[in-house]
Amino acid sequence: MGIKVFAVDIDGTLTENGGGAVSLSALAKLRYLDKLGYSVIYVTGRSSIEAFVLAVFGGTTRLAVGENGGAITLAPQEHKLLASREKCMQGYEILKKSLDGVQEKPVFPRMTEVVMLRTFDIAEGQKILDEHGLSLYLNDSKYAFHINEKGVDKALGLKEALKILKAEPEETVAIGDSETDIKMFELCGHGIALGHADEHVKAKASHVVSGKEGVGLIEAIDHVALNYLGVKA
């Protein structure tokens, strides 16, 4: 099957230098793909609203998957929620009482998850959630710790987004750099990890580029364009 969709992580993939600044060169590549008729959607641990706004101002497809797959934004006031923030808040309150350093991170409001500072032992936190019989899991996006419902991940959100786009996972290229992107790699026809990703993340990708952050995203797009699209992106 041909390629129709590019599913792109934001932090550490489209952004660079750890400060949230978008790589304009990489964004230009994504915008060009959109002009060629490919769907370019962000699949991120950030809020789906943030990602949707980036899509609007960046000139890419106006559909975004956020909150590690828990929320999809189709329009400013139109969201599809795949999880419950209330359940995640139960877990947060338990962690806060059980561990030192547990604190919410000041981020854009979330609809389906809880985002925390990376200030405690995530393995110990998961053990506590499990001991309380909560169907929740902790994951590390490298920029924050997230509490999500089990079964909710970037692959779940991306599947729903692809239904909206009338595209198949086999027609999708997933590009990312963190553990939260592994499920996307396993779902999609092509999974590309950036050069700074951890080794276990790279092991799950079908291709690994040497470049980091924005430069790596450009390299990933060029690799796909050269080998699968027959165009120079």
Q: Which three-class secondary structure state does DSSP give residue 173? A: strand
Which residue in 9, 11, 177, 181 is the catalytic one?
9
CB 232 within 8 A of CB 225: yes
What is the 3-class SS of 103-170, one letter each residue?
Answer: CECCCCCCCCCEEECCCCCHHHHHHHHHHCCCCEEEEECCCCEEEEECCCCHHHHHHHHHHHHCCCHH
Q: How far apart are CA 156 and CA 170, in angstroms?
A: 15
Q: Which three-class secondary structure state does DSSP give residue 45? A: coil
Q: How far apart are CA 172 and CA 159, in angstroms?
A: 10
Q: Is 34 part of the annotated catalytic residue set? A: no
* Active site positions, annotated: 9
